[in-house]
C-alpha cells in the first residue's frame, strides 16, 4: 500500500474543529479549521513567529 501523502497529527474539538495535518513529502504543517461542520472550512500553512512555514522532519 502506498504511503499516505497527508497525515493528521493533532485534532481538537467536536463542533469547532481544529486539525493539524502534515504533508509527508515536504513536512509542511497545515491547520484545518471548521465551524459546525456545515458552515465552511479553512486551510492554512502554520508559520513560526518569523513567518516561515513550520516543517516536521520526514523520513
Closest CA to 46 of 30, 33, 26: 30
What's the pTM value of the predicted model, to 2 decimals?
A: 0.85
Closest CA to 32 of 23, 16, 15, 20: 20
Q: How far apart are CA 53 and CA 19, in angstroms?
A: 16
Closest CA to 20 of 58, 59, 29: 29
Q: What is the mean pLDDT of the chain?
A: 92
Q: How far apart are CA 5 and CA 31, in angstroms?
A: 15
28-42: average pLDDT: 86
- pLDDT higher than 90, residue 56: yes
Amino acid at each position: 500500500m502506498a504511503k499516505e501523502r497527508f497525515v493528521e497529527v493533532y485534532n481538537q474539538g467536536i463542533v469547532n474543529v481544529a486539525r493539524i495535518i502534515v504533508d509527508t513529502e515536504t513536512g509542511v504543517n497545515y491547520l484545518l479549521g471548521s465551524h459546525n461542520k456545515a458552515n465552511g472550512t479553512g486551510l492554512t500553512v502554520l508559520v513560526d513567529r518569523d513567518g516561515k512555514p513550520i516543517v516536521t522532519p520526514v523520513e
